[in-house]
Each structure stands twice: as structure tokens, then as C-alpha cells.
A and B are shown apart, each in its own frame.
Chain A
């Protein structure tokens, strides 16, 4: 569910003025707090999206085959500790 600052925090059409749910201007402190909340939410969403992309790649049989091939090459390229 989408949550915002208590009372609402939205930018007006000019993109500069912060207002609450009833159109009243927000104080600078409230606007700064709203901005932080939005940035945190966006970071979480980007993390979730990256995790989802990775998960989808794991489910994709072609991606799994490529990863397996890459893992084999890396195992061959990296010498074993006993051989050093």
C-alpha cells in the first residue's frame, strides 16, 4: 500500500510547490520530510525491482543455462589450491 506524509504531500503542476491533501502549502520542514520519505520508497522499489529481475533470470531456462556455462568456465580458469 502506498503511504505518504501524514496529511498528504504532493507537488503542484508547476513542480515547485508542495501542498497537502486539501491544497494547503506545506512548510519547508514538512516538504523536506516528504522528499526523504519519497526517496526512501523509491530506493526500496529499485531494490525490489532488481531482486525481481534476478529472480526472473533464475527462472528463465536460457539464463540458467548461460549461468551454468559461465560457472563451468570460471571453475576451469581458477586453479585449485592443491595445485599451487
Chain B
């Protein structure tokens, strides 16, 4: 008989509801859960990479300072030497987060592989929730802050936001025009959602050269208001048949079954997306095609073994048993020009209340 090839996945554990862990085999359970954890981390990295560069750096330099100027001289002339400022420093926080789960020895004697699988799935969901929370804080909070890098060397790091009129140097526009660093801001407000407000936000982004693939993210509750804007072109669902000769309908379809993460349509230069990390009544614009991504996702240096969600410790103190999942990461703004946030229910920008 040909052998049945395959690998136990977490779905197999979830199916085992009437057999205890001891009967099923603890080694098999552990191996399956470790494989699932590795898969979870790979998926999380891929999801985050749309917005963030994965890094182990504490700080980075973005952009460059003022560009020099050609000086006209005659045959005896010798112009003065010029120096270009190196650009602005941005820093990234690093935080240690844990998810603990515990049980008694008697519980383990009765528990099924499904029960242990559910523990891990809960830890993975908590990890994803925390990442969404940190993405929201990195994007929507407008004021710089100081972070003490207590997990590494206690150095005070200046964590910056998108351009917020803090007088840090701003790279010149592609056409050479300059920006006033003390007044130029990418946190704007509009009393209502209007085409003028969206156009201004798109201009705020592309005037810095970030026009390769303008993405605009909104909360699902704002989808109807956005779709009502003059000039908005909706992406159609899959079930709509479009004749081949129709060249005015967008080719990319929307997934109506996914309320929290789908392409809504197009407005001007921007692809309008509903995203799970978006906040109601705020829109976030960025250039999704730029290698200079808006955010940086910092993890501990030392190799992939130290990154992602891991089992940090398993403590046994009869009759109690505890397992600690741990993740060490922080999210900060990397490219300060590649992000524009607009609050469109108030003319004054204010930070939203963000809960996990």
C-alpha cells in the first residue's frame, strides 16, 4: 500500500476533539504548533511589508538636506565650497510584549490537541491585534516623542511622525521647490469629506515625489461616503460581467465578502482601500510603490531566531504549568514625506483614541 504522505497542520489538531494529547502524541502536537508559529510569523511579515520595512536598526536617516547650487563663474573664477546637510534622523521604538497561557496538570491529562491548538491561535490573534494597534499609533498620532530604548542600552531615541512642522529639514520637491519645515504638515483636518479635501491630500503626498502608486486607506464605515464623491470610480465585484470592449471599468475587482480589507475603487490618482488598521473618519495616503516605505518595523538584532512571535518560556510549578509567548517589536515612521493623514469630520486635526 502506498504511504499516505502529508504533514500535520494546525487544522489537523483542531479536528482532534475526542482524544487526549497523551493519546495523540505530545511530540506530534509540539511539532505541529512550532510549524504553525513559523507560518504565522511569515504571514505577519508579508502583511506588514506593504507598509513597513523590516529592520533591526535603532535609527535611520531619511531624505537629504538642501541641494547645492551651480555658481556661474568666468575663466578665473573659483566658487566657494558647498556642503549638503545629511538629512534627518528618525528612530524606532522596541517593546517587549507577552501572551501567557497556563493550565494545571489535570487539565493537560484531559486536554485534546484541539485545546492546545486553540491556545496558540489565541496567542497569534493577540499578536496580530497588537501589530494593528501599533500601526495605528505610528500612523495617526501627530506628535513626536522620546522613547528610552530600555531593552537595549537605555539611549533616548527621538521617534518622529510624518511631516508635522517640527522644523526638521524636508527634502526638496522633484522640481526643486522647497518646503517650509516649520509650517509644512502632513496632518490635516477638514470639516467634512469633500473632493477638495481629498485632492489636497493627494497633492500633499505627490508633491514630494511619492506618486508611483498612491494608496488611500479608509475605515469600512466611511466607504459609502467615499463612494459618493464626484469622480470616484468604484471597483466592481466579481459577479458583474463586463463586456471586453468596455474600457472604462476598472479591471481589478473588489471582494465584497471581505468588509475590512478590500479595494473600494479609484479617486483621481489614488487607489482607495478599506483597511483593518484604518480609523473611522481619517484617511491615510501613502505611495505603495515606493521603496521608501512609510514605516519601519523594528525587531531585535541577532537573526530571525529572535524575531516574530516565539515561545519564550515554559514554567512548571506543580500543579500549574505556564507557557509564555513573546514578541519584541516596535513600529515608527521611516519616510516622513511618504504619508499624509486627514481627519475629515473636523477642521482641526486631533489624535484619535486608539484601543487595541
Contact = CB atoms under 8 A, between A and B. Distances in A.
Q: Do A and B come from one complex?
A: yes
Interface residues of A, number: 31
Nearest to B195: A52
Name the interface size band of chain B. Answer: 35 or more
Interface string A1-16: 1111111111111010
Contact of A45 (B166, B179, B182, B196): B196
A64 interface: no
B195 A21 contact: no
Contacts of A13: 350-353
Contacts of A41: 347
B349 A11 contact: yes
B143 A2 contact: no
A3 B183 contact: yes
Given A22-B144, A23-B145, A56-B230, A4 B350 contact: no
A19 B161 CA distance: 14
Interface in B182-196: 182-191, 194-196
The majority secondary structure among interface residues of chain B is loop
Interface in B124-149: 142-145
Contacts of B196: 45, 48-49, 52
Interface string B317-349: 000000000000000000000001000000111
B185 A45 contact: no
B165 interface: yes
Interface in B154-204: 161, 164-167, 179-180, 182-191, 194-197, 200, 203-204
B245 to A, nearest CB: 23
Contacts of A22: 143-145, 166
Interface in A11-33: 11-13, 15, 19-23
Given A4-B185, A8-B185, A49 B144 contact: no
Contacts of B182: 6-7
Given A4-B183, A4-B185, A11 B348 contact: yes
B348 A49 contact: no
Interface in A24-77: 35, 38-39, 41-42, 45-46, 48-49, 52-53, 56
B349 A42 contact: no
Contacts of B191: 42, 46
A42 B144 contact: no
A34 B146 CA distance: 25
Q: Which 5 A-B pairs have the closest CB atoms?
A: A11-B350, A21-B166, A8-B165, A23-B143, A42-B347
22 contacts: A1-B204, A2-B200, A3-B185, A5-B165, A6-B165, A7-B165, A7-B167, A8-B165, A8-B185, A10-B187, A11-B348, A12-B350, A13-B351, A15-B350, A20-B165, A21-B165, A22-B144, A42-B190, A42-B191, A45-B190, A45-B197, A49-B194
